[in-house]
Amino acid sequence: MGLKTTAQETSTSPRILLFDLETAPNLAYVWGHYDQNVIEHVQESYILSGAYRWLGEDKVYVKALPDYKGYKPEKECDRELCKDLWKLFDEADIAIGHNCVAIDTPVLKQDLTWVPAGSLQVGDKIVGFDEGTVPGETLRDSSGNWRGTGKSNREIKPAEVTAMSIENRPCFEVLLSNGDKVVTTGDHYWLGRTPKDNFYKWVSTADLKPGHRFTKFWNVWEQDKSYESGWLSGFISGEGTLKQSGKAFGVDFCQRPGSTWEQAVKYCEVLGYEISKARTPKGGGLGRGDTLYTGLLGGKFSIAEAIGRMQIQRFVDKLNWDTFGGLKGQKLPTVEVISVTPVGMREVAVMSTSTRTFFAAGYAMHNCDAFDIKKANTRFVYNGLPPYSDFRSIDTLKIAKKVFRFNSNKLDDLGNFLGIGRKAQTGGFATWRGCLSGDSKAWKTMCLYNQQDVALLERVYLSLRPWAKGHPDVSTMRGQKGCPVCGHPKAHKRGYAYTNLMRAQRYQCLDCKAYYQGPRSKIPITDN
């Protein structure tokens, strides 16, 4: 069945597509209800329905599997639906959407603090590492050549959050031999080792089995606000040195024998920080040869933890993550997977980083990158479809996070806060289960939910659009002068925008109210 032709198709305006997809869950065989591992992965997730509206049109259209010949309940049959969705993407100039660990999972930032994954925002500085092999890639290629990092070891790197969203998705709880419990989606990747070999590779949560091993690189800490910690932090900040040259990493401090030295040693012992035996350099210290030196022991991970616990700000500011070293260290514990248990729908942080990696709950993790466009691309290539023509993407979530500080950036909450509507009720997972079995009432609920998402997305987009920075220039796409945000030809003059040497006429659109600037010119200079 073909797609509805819209008025936009006959205009010179850029075609702006608002869309939302609903997908089926993955299906697998298990032996029981609890503490089970996947025996056999039966069926990949596929697209159930896609709702869309061309901006400027009145109606939200929805295409679902029962609309097509060949539809069979509980069968993967989205080829014809994908063909129609592909046509939409191929025709679009701009596409608008609202874009995995549990949101309370702690993630390590570069300032040596741990924060809940759900609190992270685009631009936040976190700690990452070399990705090495891509998840799903074998360790050796077809010729038997080793795939790896190109180095002897994955190196720790500074990273930045490049995309972030909160989604409700089916999750699993991974129980580890040290008692840690980590909740993730099935497609979340860990860096670990199988029970049969010692090679590190990416393993998805859905593929984990008892005996899989992970290195716990970091403990998860909070700032120690005790008197002893505050005293020791100030002392080491004043009398200590952060040593970071090449791959060496350490903290030394010194003091002449006496009460201050004894206090520092005592507080290290009280707080559990292991230090080296006091020594006096042969050349003497402070000109008298009686200065005592010591340093924190335990390797770079343990020393960084001490800096983070004490929040020694001078060292935090000086820390260079590019030279911190590789994913190896002294006395790093190895833990084993005990069980992987389904825990139903949970809120998860779907995050992208500049390194495609991050540390969560102390373990090495990989991006999820689970967005509608990527899911659609997966089904397109599976169904043998070629790439579609390129389009510009606008994510209302990114606008919300970059420009505002809403209490929640979820689409439903934004609509409620702005007074422009809410998402429809899904009826829970029973609706998905009903769709899989061919229940007509469930399909009706799913399509209405899908349609309402797009209608609400449009209203949220139009509300946030005037505030968006870097919005695609609609007027240029039209080949006409006008507002770059909405394309409206008329605007009020609102003074000038200045640089040191130039100025530009400032305009405010009469339609969407966005501000924009005309061409720059030199500031005229007049004699008094």
What is the spatial distance between Cα 372 and Cα 45, in angstroms, rounded to a whole number? 13
What is the spatial distance between Cα 507 and Cα 513, in angstroms, rounded to a whole number? 9
What is the spatial distance between Cα 21 and Cα 26, in angstroms, rounded to a whole number? 16
- At residue 189's C-alpha, the angle toward residues 146 and 378, to 5°, is 90
pLDDT by 10s per residue, the chain, length 528: 344 433 343 345 788 888 888 888 777 787 765 445 667 877 778 899 999 989 888 889 999 999 999 898 888 899 999 999 999 989 888 887 654 788 899 999 999 999 999 888 877 899 999 887 766 555 555 455 555 544 457 889 998 887 677 777 778 999 999 999 999 988 788 998 887 777 788 888 888 889 999 999 999 999 999 999 999 999 999 999 998 876 678 999 988 889 999 999 999 999 999 999 888 866 555 545 678 889 999 899 999 999 999 999 999 999 999 889 888 877 889 999 999 999 888 888 888 787 889 999 999 998 764 456 777 888 899 999 998 887 777 778 778 877 888 877 778 888 999 999 988 887 777 888 899 999 999 999 999 988 998 999 999 999 999 998 778 888 888 788 899 999 899 999 999 988 888 899 999 999 999 999 988 888 887 665
Residue 80 tokens, joined? 């014809």
Residue 182 pLDDT: 94
What is the spatial distance between Cα 314 and Cα 311, in angstroms, rounded to a whole number? 9
Residue of 180, 209, 178 whose CA lies nearest to 195: 209
Domains with residue ranges and CATH for the chain: 12-99+371-466 (3.30.420.10), 101-138+149-217+331-366 (2.170.16.10), 227-323 (3.10.28.10), 475-522 (no CATH)
What is the spatial distance between Cα 200 and Cα 196, in angstroms, rounded to a whole number? 11
Around Cβ 519, how many Cβ atoms within 10 Å? Answer: 7
Residue 11 pLDDT: 47
What is the spatial distance between Cα 237 and Cα 240, in angstroms, rounded to a whole number? 6
Strand, helix or coil for residue 348: strand
Residue 431 pLDDT: 86
Phi/psi at 19 (5° precision): -150, 160
Rounded to whole angstroms, what are the CA distances from 122 to 321, 350, 354, 366?
19, 12, 11, 17
Is-contact 307 237, C-beta < 8 A?
Answer: no
What is the spatial distance between Cα 259 and Cα 267, in angstroms, rounded to a whole number? 12
Is-contact 126 161, C-beta < 8 A?
Answer: yes
Query: Whats the size of the chain, residue-wise?
Result: 528
What is the spatial distance between Cα 54 and Cα 459, in angstroms, rounded to a whole number? 13
Phi/psi at 54 (5° precision): -85, 130
Strand, helix or coil for residue 371: coil
Strand, helix or coil for residue 81: helix
What is the spatial distance between Cα 508 and Cα 6, in angstroms, rounded to a whole number? 30
Residue of 331, 465, 312 whose CA lies nearest to 400: 465
Residue of 251, 180, 171, 184 whose CA lies nearest to 216: 180
Amino acid, single-letter form, for residue 353:
T
Scan for tokens 């074998």, then name that residue: 138
Residue 470 pLDDT: 75
- At residue 185's C-alpha, the angle toward residues 179 and 188, to 5°, is 90
Residues in contact with 21: Cβ distance below 8 Å, sequence separation at least 6, in sequence order: 47, 49, 50, 85, 372, 375, 376, 450
Strand, helix or coil for residue 309: helix
Is-contact 257 340, C-beta < 8 A?
Answer: no
Handedness of CA 329, 333, 336, 339 (dihedral sign): negative
Residue 2 pLDDT: 45
What is the spatial distance between Cα 36 and Cα 209, in angstroms, rounded to a whole number? 9
Report which DSSP code applies to 151: S
Residue 94 pLDDT: 82
Amino acid, single-letter form, for residue 38:
V
Residues in contact with 517: Cβ distance below 8 Å, sequence separation at least 6, in sequence order: 497, 504, 505, 506, 507
Beta bridge partners of 18: 53, 96
Around Cβ 513, how many Cβ atoms within 10 Å? Answer: 16
Residues in contact with 388: Cβ distance below 8 Å, sequence separation at least 6, in sequence order: 86, 89, 90, 380
Scan for tokens 């590779």, then name that residue: 201
Alpha helices in 383-528 (DSSP H): 396-403, 411-417, 429-437, 440-464, 474-478
Beta bridge partners of 399: none
pTM (2 decimals)?
A: 0.55
Residues in contact with 527: Cβ distance below 8 Å, sequence separation at least 6, in sequence order: none
What is the spatial distance between Cα 328 and Cα 301, in angstroms, rounded to a whole number? 9
Residue of 33, 37, 62, 66 whose CA lies nearest to 50: 62
Is-contact 220 114, C-beta < 8 A?
Answer: yes
What is the spatial distance between Cα 175 and Cα 338, in angstroms, rounded to a whole number? 5
